[in-house]
Amino acid sequence: MSLRLTLPAGATAELDRVEGERFWMRASRAYAPGTPLKAAVEGVAWVLDLKVARSVRRDDGAFTVDGRLVNLTRPQRALVEESLGAVSSA
């Protein structure tokens, strides 16, 4: 399962995995390490604050972007966990 996101400049992503404060997503573009991102969550009026650690090009032309979640509220964490079917350890 994944959570669909809209990133700055019209880029899109799917949040695939969260472990504690760490995230991994499949994105339509790469981001430099340290880049702060505001990701709009599809279907809700929330924006997730993300900080990029690295981007790696995949064989299909997309990018695996990982980093950490910043200032995640309890309702946001519950939405992420429910959408991904995971339990985070924060």
- In this structure, the number of other CB atoms found within 10 A of the CB of residue 45 comes to 6
Distances (CA, A) of 69 to 58, 59, 72: 22, 26, 6
Separation CA 53–CA 24 (nearest Å): 10
Beta strands in the chain (DSSP E): 3-6, 12-19, 22-27, 36-41, 47-57, 63-70
Q: Whose CA is closest to 30, among 62, 60, 70, 68?
A: 62
Determine the pLDDT at residue 86. Answer: 56
Domain boundaries, the chain: 3-84
For residue range 19-28, what is the model confidence (pLDDT) as tens digits?
Answer: 989 999 999 9
> Which of the residues in the chain have pLDDT under 70?
86-90
